């Protein structure tokens, strides 16, 4: 079994040189070279020897190694074929790790969980996600209603702040609502760009998402709810009345929009960033009933 930890500058460089590996910018590859940060992630991720872990984009195996030490079973999705022989080498001796050469965006994750993990086993997703594709991956994980307890991800600091933001904050927007509809979101640590090889252009944060059993609000139609939320933030400086009038053009006129806002008990001169999730739910449900008539 590997005795030298992978996540150090020296060991990472040795592995890259051994295989003549070159980073692909198009895949957003930045490898973590700080063991302390990985151990800190493990402390927060709630993983023990009863749990299973899924990793997205294992790279050369720095985080995978830590997951293998702490979890019962680890599944890692890697899209870059060049990394498969490297992972076979670096994770040698960890019998509880399985690397799948698949694109997470196209994978049937539920089926994979059923195939590889024990029934009723707690499943945690842990990943250092490529910045360019963070939101599509996360929204896929959340919308598929997977049997997962938590998602702990290292992502761009600014995006983590948006996902965990509360109303009346400049970071708060449709992404905050989308993520918090499915999870309780908390930024657990900030990570400087200097602990990556190569260093990215921005700092990162680790975001802990605890999956909710049920959404915190009752909505009649989820698609309409998210549509109303997105419309409300379409032009942040514009009022709700203006944004919603534009969104529902051809369905409701300006007077009807004003009437529906009043029915929902919401002042149309407010901006989207001032509404909490319950207010958005009331608004969306009011529009839903008007559309059903």
Positions at the binding site: 30, 32, 57, 78, 103, 128
C-alpha angle with apex 209: 218 to 204, nearest 5 degrees? Answer: 135
Alpha-carbon gap, residue 149 to 268, rounded angstroms: 38
**DSSP strands (E only) in the chain:** 31-32, 52-56, 73-77, 97-100, 123-128, 150-156, 183-191, 196-197, 204-211
Alpha-carbon gap, residue 226 to 143, rounded angstroms: 12
**Are 240 and 266 spatial neighbours (Cβ–Cβ below 8 Å)?**
yes
Q: What are phi and psi of 89, to 5 degrees?
A: -75, -55
Closest CA to 129 of 86, 166, 77, 176: 77
Q: Which two tokens stand for residue 10?
A: 């020296």
Binding-site residue ranges for S-adenosyl-L-methionine: 30, 32, 57, 78, 103, 128
**Are 86 and 60 spatial neighbours (Cβ–Cβ below 8 Å)?**
yes
Q: Residue written as tokens 């996902």?
A: 163
Which SS3 state, helix, strand or coil, does residue 211 take? strand
Neighbouring C-beta atoms of residue 86, cutoff 10 Å: 20
**Are 31 and 10 spatial neighbours (Cβ–Cβ below 8 Å)?**
no
């Amino acid at each position: 079994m590997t005795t030298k930890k992978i996540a150090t500058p020296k060991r990472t460089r040795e592995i890259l040189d051994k295989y003549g590996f070159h980073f692909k910018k198009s895949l957003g590859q930045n490898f973590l070279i700080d063991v302390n940060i990985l151990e800190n992630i493990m402390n927060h991720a709630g993983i023990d020897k009863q749990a299973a872990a899924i990793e997205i984009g294992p790279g050369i195996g720095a985080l995978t190694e830590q997951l293998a030490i702490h979890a019962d079973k680890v599944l890692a999705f890697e899209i870059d074929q060049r990394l498969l022989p490297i992972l076979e080498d670096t994770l040698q001796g960890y019998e509880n790790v399985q690397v799948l050469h698949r694109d997470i965006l196209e994978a049937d994750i539920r089926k994979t969980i059923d195939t590889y993990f024990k029934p009723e086993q707690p499943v945690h997703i842990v990943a250092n996600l490529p910045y360019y594709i963070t939101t599509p991956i996360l929204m896929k994980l959340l919308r598929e209603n997977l049997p997962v307890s938590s998602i702990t991800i290292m992502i761009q600091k600014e995006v983590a702040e948006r996902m965990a933001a509360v109303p009346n904050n400049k970071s708060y927007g449709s992404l905050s609502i989308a993520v918090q509809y499915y999870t309780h979101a908390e930024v657990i640590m900030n990570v400087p760009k200097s602990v990556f090889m190569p260093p990215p252009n921005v700092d990162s944060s680790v975001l802990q998402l605890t999956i909710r059993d049920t959404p915190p609000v009752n909505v009649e139609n989820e698609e309409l709810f998210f549509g109303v939320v997105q419309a409300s933030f379409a032009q942040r400086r514009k009022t709700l009345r203006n944004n919603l009038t534009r969104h529902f053009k051809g369905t409701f006129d300006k007077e009807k929009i004003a009437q529906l806002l009043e029915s929902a008990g919401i002042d149309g001169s407010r901006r989207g960033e001032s509404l909490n999730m319950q207010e958005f739910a009331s608004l969306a449900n009011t529009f839903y009933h008007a559309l059903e008539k």
